[in-house]
Amino acid sequence: MYMFELMTAYNYGGSTFFNEKLTRRPVMTAALVLCALVFLVIRTGKGSAGRLKKAVSCGCYDRERILRGQWWRLLTVGFTHIEAWHLLVNLYSLYALSALEELYGHLWFAVILFGSVTGGSLLELAVSKNRYSVGLSGGLYGLMFSYALISFTYGSGDLRSLVLTIIINLAINFAPGIAWQAHIGGALTGLLFTEVMLHLA
């Protein structure tokens, strides 16, 4: 695996949205479509309370229900978004990182993305008393830190830009209402799975 190939693939991810990449990156495409469809269902709820109720029905993180045995919510939280800006930011970030699907292969991309969502939820469950949370951010942090590990391991690419991106995203964790535990847990899980992928390569 050469760093030049990684950087080319990653930078290529930011070009025109509706093109052949959607078929070459089926995991990313399926996640985009599912997140959008679930969002539309959630938005049918009336008012904030109604939308939260819809989000719970669609599988968002709900600490009390998880502790009662609904463990699938550790993963399905990634497909739930209540606010349009949150959905758009996460879907754009997923698309920007989706070149990694071609680099890693569909299986490892899915393992890192969805494994990081689950890992982020587990850390949130362990250290936070938050009742509810939504979003794909844990998985995105997993992909971002996976890319960072590959970049530093192979020692080339725009490392300054990458470090700046990581710092900005980590700073966002201190904003009110952010489930930083899910972000940190996702990042750590992404690093772990990437190490396993590199070991098995």
Tens-place pLDDT, residues 62-84: 999 999 999 999 999 999 999 99
| d(C-alpha 98, C-alpha 60), whole Å | 23
- Is residue 183 annotated as a catalytic residue, yes or no? yes
> Residues 28, 99: contact at Cβ < 8 Å?
no
**Whole domain around residue 101: which residue ranges?**
3-196
Catalytic residue among 121, 137, 146, 151: 137
Count of domains observed in the chain: 1
Residue 79 domain flag: yes
Task: Tell me the per-residue pLDDT of 132-186, one tens digit each, with 9 for 90 and over.
Answer: 999 999 999 999 999 999 988 887 556 676 777 777 777 777 666 678 999 999 9
Q: Residue 55 belongs to a domain with what CATH number?
A: 1.20.1540.10
- The pair of three-digit structure tokens given for residue 75, joined into one six-digit string: 């993963």
Question: At what angle are helices 26-42 and 84-97 packed, to 10 degrees?
Answer: 180
Q: Is residue 144 part of a domain?
A: yes
* Alpha-carbon separation of residue 192 from 78, 143, 147, 165 (angstroms): 19, 11, 12, 20
CA distance 112 to 146: 8
81 among known catalytic residues: no
Query: Which is the catalytic residue, given 81, 133, 151, 183?
Result: 183
